Each structure stands twice: as structure tokens, then as C-alpha cells.
Structure 1
Amino acid sequence: MVWAAPSAPGPVTGTVLVPGSKSLTNRHLLLAALADGPSTLHRPLVSRDAELMLGAVQQLGVRVERAPEDRSWVLTPPPHLRGGGAIDCGLAGTVLRFVPPVAALADGPVAFDGDERSRSRPIAPLLAALDALGVEVDHGGRDALPFTVLGTGRVAGGEIGVDASASSQFVSALLLAAPRFDGGLTLRNTGDRLPSTPHIDMTVQTLRAAGVEAGSPEPGVWRVEPGAVAGRLVEVEPDLSSAAPFLAAAAATGGTVTVTGWPPRTTQAGDRMRDILTTMGCRVELTDGSQGATHDLTVRGPARGVLRGADLDLHDVGELTPVVTALAALASTPSQITGVAHLRGHETDRLAALENEVGRLGGDITQTQDGLVIAPARLSPAALETYEDHRMVMAAAVLALAVPGTEILGAETVAKTFPAFQVAWTSLVLGQDPAAAPSGGDTRSSVTDGGVTDGGVG
């Protein structure tokens, strides 16, 4: 699908409600499968990644009841996780990495496969860790999808190491299943680095909220005690990384955009956008919101739309790199992004993809060993590839704001985390009624999947 993404005729102004967090939705779904009773998720993300995780826990025997318009899901776990099924990972890293340790607790074999790109995503360190725990995985010597976890109904647990240099998800995967291991788990990172540590903090916080004793006794080491996982009521936070392109629209055009429902305290990587945008010359304000415990985050772009470049270490928040790179390409001074070598193993090689696509517009961008260097350049319209990567669609939309005539190829892949993105984006940029905006893709409820109110060009 080709999307003629809108350019901004003036400063972009509006208020945005983004869908639930993918990272939190999928963690809550997995813990609901391990819980001692039913769990209810309010405002879960409804997207391909979340549907894949929902399908995975159903394959393991969890009963799912979905309320009208998917505003809440009720999950009832079985007495014993069920083996014998096949799980589709799609291109969801959380399904690929988080579910196999849980499948080891099932009462029989569980097969895993996914999209072609998933077959090349890093998984070997997790399979090695499962082997160290005595879990048998049949992967034909490939250390990659497809593979089968030979569940036996129990895992002894204990103390092991995992090389998490390529992904913090290897740590989170093992910690999430660990409360159901006989002896819990003491886990040590044996790699030379650890990217995206806020996501591990998120995992620990989610475990604690479910009544599990979990923590980090020293840097690079985590301990989860064995015990019950509580079934509970969960209000899913909005996805702050999906909010990033909307905030970037204000930054790029000298406009004003407010995202409602911003949590005052969060482990989400997207919260770092507040600091990034301030560094690049924006005014950022977090105020009491209309949703009780949440806030409104308002970003005002710099006067006359003159955005500053910045030197940014995004090691812990690598998922923001595509949108931040797009902003850097529109800035008036050079930028350097460091600490993100691990992005070469994400949905695509994101560093190569960004270099290719910003370069396709005529941008001055160069890969380094662990990041990107971007300098100001005159940009011209082009058709941008997205590499089946939802964050590349969002980055391309930001670039299109300042480059009329830009087209985005494969834009439907944004449904991985935000099915109604094109509707919400067009509504904000052009000030349209969301119901009238052309979507070119999934247009499920703008209440459930994100929407815009009071959009306009100021």
C-alpha cells in the first residue's frame, strides 16, 4: 500500500489520544496466563503485535473474553498450561522472546514460527539460557525459528546467565516466567552491554504489581522469587513511543500538540521524548489532565520552526531513534545519535534503513559504529520504503511534514502497534474530522486505537 502522507501547510496544532502501550499490554497478557485467577485489562492495545500475544496465550489454554469495542479483555488461565499447539510470532519480538520460557511450563510441546524476517531475528542467547535451565528446545541446530519447546509442566529454575547484548527482551522473557519456576530465578547478564534497560525496569515493576517478589540486587543481576502471580485489574498506559511522532509534528512545524493521558511516572522509553524535544529547542509542559491520575503533555515547537540538532545517546530508548532521526534531518544544525548499534537486529536493520531512506530524500546522513550522524540538507520528495517496520512508517510521516509529495510504501505495517495511525495523523496535520480522513488501512475505533480531537493547523 502506498500512502501519500500529508505535508503541513502551517504549524500543526491539536490534541491526541494514543492507544495502549504494546510493551505493557503484552507483559500483562503473559502474566495473566501465569496468574492464580482471572485478570482484566482495560484499554489494552488492539494491534497485530497484541493480537499475536493474545493468540499465544489462548494456544496455552487461557480463556479470553473481549468486551464490546475491545475496551477491556478478561483472561482466565487454565489450571495447567496446555501444550500441543502452534504459536505464530509474526514479527513481534515480545512473542518470539517472551513466550518460549512460559511454554516450557506447558504440559507438552509448543511449536513456534513467524514471519520470514522473524527467522533472522536474534534468539540464540535465549535458547542457550533455556538449555541451561534444563528446557529442551528442538531448533534443528539453527538457533532460530522455527523451533519447538518441549514443555514438561515445570522448570527447576536456579541461577544462570544470558548474553543480553543484542536485546533486553532476553532478560525480560526469563524474568516474566520465573515466578512459576520451582526455585525462582537469579539471572546475570553475561554480555558486554545491555540496551533498553527501561524495558527491564518495566518488567520488574509489572511483576511487582502482580504480587511477585522481584528486583535487581546489583547492576546486571536480577532475582525473582517463586510464588503466585496475582490475577488483577490493569489499566494499560498509553503507548508513549507511539505518541512520539505526534509530538514531533509540533517540533517540526512550530506548532502545539497535546497528548492526553500521559502517566506522571512510567518506565516507558517514550517518556524520554520530553528531554529530547527540550534539547532540540521545544517547550515541553506536563500538566494535570482530565483523566484523574494522568497528565497532559504539551509540546510547543520552536519559534519560526527553527529546530536545533542535538547529540543524543539513545542506548536505553532505541525505539525512539527512527522518529528522532527524522526530526534531526529537519533540524537547522547537525545531530549525532549514539548507543544504538543493537537496532541492527530489530524489525529491520534500522540504522541501514534510516540511512537509506533519509538519503533517498537527499538528506545528509551517515551510519557510525553505534549510531548515525545527520546534517542539514535540502530534501526532495521520494517514495520511502518502510521495511515492514512500524517505526519507519512513523518516521517517514514526520519527514513528509516538510517534504510535500513524499509517499510511504508499505504503510499498512504500522498496524503492528497503531492500526489507526494514518487516520489520526492525517486528522492532526490537516485538521480533519478523524471519521473523514483517508486511512488506506485498518480504521478501527479511534477511541480504542487512538484518535485526535480539536485538530487543526494554527
Structure 2
Amino acid sequence: MSQDVYQCKKQNKPISGVVEVPGSKSMTNRALLLAALSKEDSCLEGVLFSDDSRHFLQCLQELGFELFIEEENARVTMKGTGGQIPKKSGTIHVGSAGTAARFLTALLALSDGTYTINCSDQMKKRPMKPLFDALTEMGAEFTYIEEEGFLPAKVKGNGGICKDVTMDISKSTQFLSALLMVAPLTKNGLKITITSEKKEGSYIRITTKMMEQFGVHVEFDGAVYRVAGNQKLTVGNYYIEPDVSAACYFYGIAVLTGGTITVKNVFRTSMQGDMKFLDVLQQLGCLITETKYGIQVTGPKEGQYTGIDVNMNDFSDQTMTMAVLAAYGTTPTIIRNVGHIRVQECNRMAAIVNELNRVGILCEEKGDDLWITPGRLKSATIETYEDHRMAMAFSLLGIRTDGIQIADPACCKKTFEGYFSVLDKLLEAN
């Protein structure tokens, strides 16, 4: 693999094997924030080490939290402070990590200090305003260094006061997750009324389930979230599940080749939203089996399947994977209600359209839906837009089409820096 381009390797046979993927990004960064809020020491196992999580860890260290990091053992130990930030002023850099940006902004806004939050050029374009508005309503003060409503920014904390707020989560549920996680240590707790049509989602459910695991109760009546104040939060020893989002790329290889792929330690008990993608794979004719090692996916015979009409709003990280699989279906596919992916690492709607069109597949945006018509694919170099999920998902094109290259494969380091090595190892073993 060159530094700039990854050459995909077409396969002419079913691909089978067992792979291992790193820990969940979503769970890793939630666990790191909640460990910072815990009064007692925490030990996190199965931690994902990637660009995003390393930025989060570096930010915590810059704020004065005591961490013992064992990257080779996927373990982080943190000294509990009960949510008190050791340093009362400072500067952090969240990189391109949306979770670090949203979660740490909420933590700093409810502190008794003053801080500067810097970020990458990519993160400067991503939405933050709904979170800034809610935190400003609570009494935090923001000074925008470049564009109003976006990072980078300076924040002066409100001393830990929560109050009732309204919030629109249509662009990102991370705004809500951030507020929910910092609320239990405040004296007066928090009531959040959701004003958007979308009221909940898979990532919010990860947040509330993890909070419950750590002793914090969250109430939700269908429109309003409530978190009581002065709740004791204890993380203790905690195992982070393997990343289901990463597992799904390998399951996609089973679909395309009619092979059988097992991902270690991914089980039906996983709390991650992308587990819903397994239901989609069943619609494509896959056999899903839970073994003692992990979930096993056997693809349809000879990789032949019809297209589907599917609402992916609640597991939209797999939109790119589904779009690639749709290119090889025998009938058209419609992916519905994923317009919010326009404001993620890149405009993923436009990126999917551009890159499928580049390889000769008709893909159209219709409102918040994608309409994909299968066809004869041609070789191309896929642009990845500094987006890890574009790189990993579109590498699957090369499983069935000659001459597919992936530009900037190193962008995968955001969540899965060893992805292409794991992919090569799997293919070489067949």
C-alpha cells in the first residue's frame, strides 16, 4: 500500500475468515468523558486508539486529568475528580473529532474555568450552534475566534448550573448526548425539550444505556429528557465493545462474494446502533449466525441479491456501505432519510453520488434520499474527502471490480488505522 493510494484487489471467489476490529469509537469517547466525571478511579478496557480518541485523551491530559495510557493493551486508567477540571484555564485541540468537540465543550461550559477550544479545518465546518445556544442559555459565555456559531471558540464556564433548555438534534444527536452526560453532577439537574422532529436515536440510546450502567438515571417521555442533579456516577472497570461500524465493512465482503465472515466478539447483545445493519443484510439474502466467537455473516450464493428500499436514518454510518452494495444489486436501491449525513466529516450525500457516478453507477439525491441504479462498473480512483467511512466502504468496490484505487487511505486513522492491513490479511488468507 502506497502512502497516497490503496490498490484494491478483485476477488473471483467467496471470501471467508475471522477478523478482529478495534473498540467502538462512540463508546470509547463516551466512556472517557464519563470517567472524567466519576468520583472514583476508572479502568477502561478495549479502548479504541485512533486519531479521534487520541485527541480526546490529549485534551483530558491538557485539562489536568491524570491518565495512565497503555495503548498496546487497549487500556486507559483515569483518576477520578468528580467532574472537577484540575486546570482552571487552558487550550485544547479536538482535531476532527465531533464527539470530543461536542462532549468537551459541554464539560467546559459547566466548569468554573475559562478555556480555548481549537480544532481542524474539517471540524470548523461542522455544526455546533444548537449546543452553543443551549449552553449559552445556561449561562456559559462563548467568544467565537473565527465564524460565529462554529469552532474554534473561547468558553467561560457557568460554574456548573443547569436549567431547562430546548434543543434541535436534527443535525447531530451528539449535542444531546453531551448535555445528558454532564448533567448528573450539577446541583439542579437538567430538563431538555427536543424541538426537532427527530427526538431520539441509536447514539442517544448508547449514551443513556452507558449512563445507566454507571448509576445515572435518565428519564425520557417521548419529547423531554430529564436528568436529576447530584447523582453519583461510577465507571469502575469497564469493557468497551468492538466497533460494529467497522465490522460491517467485513460483513459487506461476505455479501459481495457469497463468503462467510465472522467478526470476533461482536454479539447480539451489543448496544450499538449499526447492529440494525444486520437486518438489512438479511434482506439481501444473508444468513446471520451468532457463534461463540462472534456474529457470522454468510452472503447470498455467488453474491447475487436484489436491491431494497430502506430507511437508514438511525444507522446512517452504514449509508456508504449500503450504497456500495447497491451498485452490485440486480435491481435498484433507495436509501431513505439520511440527509443529516451532509454535515458530517464531509457532505456524505454528495460524496456518495460523486464516487458512484465516477465508477459508472447512476446515483441521485432526491431530497434526503439516495436512489441507486446498478450497472456495469468501471475502474477509477475513489476520492475520500478526508472521510474514513468513505475510504473503508468504497474499498469494497474493488472486491468485484478491477482497477479500483482508494485515494488517501491514511484517513482511516480517524477510527481504524489498521483497516487496510486487516483487509489485506483477510484477502491473502483466501
TM range (shorter): over 0.9
Return the match for 2:212 from 205, 208, 212: 208
User: Which residue identity is paired with 2:110?
Assistant: L
Q: State the match for 1:109 in structure 2.
A: 114
Return the match for 2:400 from 375, 399, 402: 402
Q: What SS class does the counterpart of residue 40 from structure 2 fall into?
A: coil
Matched ranges for 1:173-184 at <5 A: 173-184=178-189
How big is the shift at 1:303? 0.9
Matched ranges for 1:298-377 at <5 A: 298-377=296-375
In 2, the alpha carbon distance for the partners of 1:71 and 1:427 equals: 21
Matched ranges for 1:28-427 at <5 A: 28-67=31-70, 69-78=72-81, 80-81=84-85, 82-139=87-144, 142-152=148-158, 154-194=159-199, 197-216=201-220, 218-226=221-229, 227-287=231-291, 289-290=292-293, 296-427=294-425
Between 1:112-121 and 1:223-232, the stretch displaced more is: 223-232
* Two-structure CA RMSD over aligned residues (Å): 1.4
* Deviations, residues 183-229 of structure 1 (Å, cap 9, x unaligned): 111111112334x701001101111111112131x113211112221
In 1, the alpha carbon distance for the partners of 2:95 and 2:198 equals: 27
User: Which residue identity is paired with 2:149?
Assistant: D
Aligned partners of 1:25 and 1:236 also within 8 Å: yes
User: Which residue identity is paired with 1:148?
Assistant: K
Aligned partners of 1:64 and 1:73 also within 8 Å: yes
In 1, the alpha carbon distance for the partners of 2:192 and 2:323 equals: 34
In 2, the alpha carbon distance for the partners of 1:376 and 1:414 equals: 27
C-alpha distance 59-215 of structure 1, shift in aligned 2 (>3 A): farther
In 1, the alpha carbon distance for the partners of 2:121 and 2:70 equals: 33
Aligned partners of 1:386 and 1:408 also within 8 Å: yes
How big is the shift at 1:307? 2.1
In 2, the alpha carbon distance for the partners of 1:84 and 1:313 equals: 45
Aligned partners of 2:110 and 2:161 also within 8 Å: no
In 2, the alpha carbon distance for the partners of 1:426 and 1:220 equals: 46
In 1, the alpha carbon distance for the partners of 2:421 and 2:343 equals: 30
C-alpha distance 155-269 of structure 1, shift in aligned 2 (>3 A): same
User: Which residue identity is paired with 1:84?
Assistant: S
TM-score (normalizing by structure 1)? 0.90
Aligned partners of 2:39 and 2:81 also within 8 Å: no
In 1, the alpha carbon distance for the partners of 2:74 and 2:359 equals: 40
Aligned partners of 1:135 and 1:155 also within 8 Å: no
Q: What SS class does the counterpart of residue 321 from structure 2 fall into?
A: helix
User: Which residue identity is paired with 1:236?
Assistant: I
Between 1:362-371 and 1:260-269, the stretch displaced more is: 260-269
How big is the shift at 1:58? 1.6
How big is the shift at 1:67? 2.8
User: Which residue identity is paired with 1:219?
Assistant: G
* Deviations, residues 349-384 of structure 1 (Å, cap 9, x unaligned): 001000000110011111111121111110011000
Q: What SS class does the counterpart of residue 164 from structure 2 fall into?
A: strand
In 2, the alpha carbon distance for the partners of 1:423 and 1:156 equals: 47
How big is the shift at 1:71? 2.5
How big is the shift at 1:402? 1.0
User: Which residue identity is paired with 1:223?
Assistant: R
Aligned partners of 1:245 and 1:323 also within 8 Å: yes
How big is the shift at 1:429? 2.1
Aligned partners of 1:187 and 1:223 also within 8 Å: yes
Q: What SS class does the counterpart of residue 7 from structure 1 fall into?
A: coil
* Deviations, residues 395-430 of structure 1 (Å, cap 9, x unaligned): 111111111111100110111110110100111123
Between 1:28-37 and 1:218-227, the stretch displaced more is: 218-227
In 2, the alpha carbon distance for the partners of 1:263 and 1:160 equals: 37
Aligned partners of 2:267 and 2:295 also within 8 Å: no
In 2, the alpha carbon distance for the partners of 1:139 and 1:286 equals: 50
Q: What SS class does the counterpart of residue 129 from structure 1 fall into?
A: helix
C-alpha distance 20-68 of structure 1, shift in aligned 2 (>3 A): closer
Q: What SS class does the counterpart of residue 385 from structure 2 fall into?
A: coil
In 1, the alpha carbon distance for the partners of 2:128 and 2:71 equals: 37
How big is the shift at 1:118? 0.9
Q: What SS class does the counterpart of residue 348 from structure 1 fall into?
A: coil
Aligned partners of 2:249 and 2:392 also within 8 Å: yes
Q: State the match for 1:442 in structure 2.
A: none
Aligned partners of 1:32 and 1:39 also within 8 Å: yes
How big is the shift at 1:386? 0.3
Between 1:304-313 and 1:122-131, the stretch displaced more is: 304-313
User: Which residue identity is paired with 2:31?
Assistant: H
Unaligned runs of 5+ in 1: 291-295, 432-455
Aligned partners of 1:344 and 1:352 also within 8 Å: yes
Q: State the match for 1:16 in structure 2.
A: 19
In 2, the alpha carbon distance for the partners of 1:395 and 1:275 equals: 18
How big is the shift at 1:68? 6.1
Between 1:276-285 and 1:97-106, the stretch displaced more is: 97-106
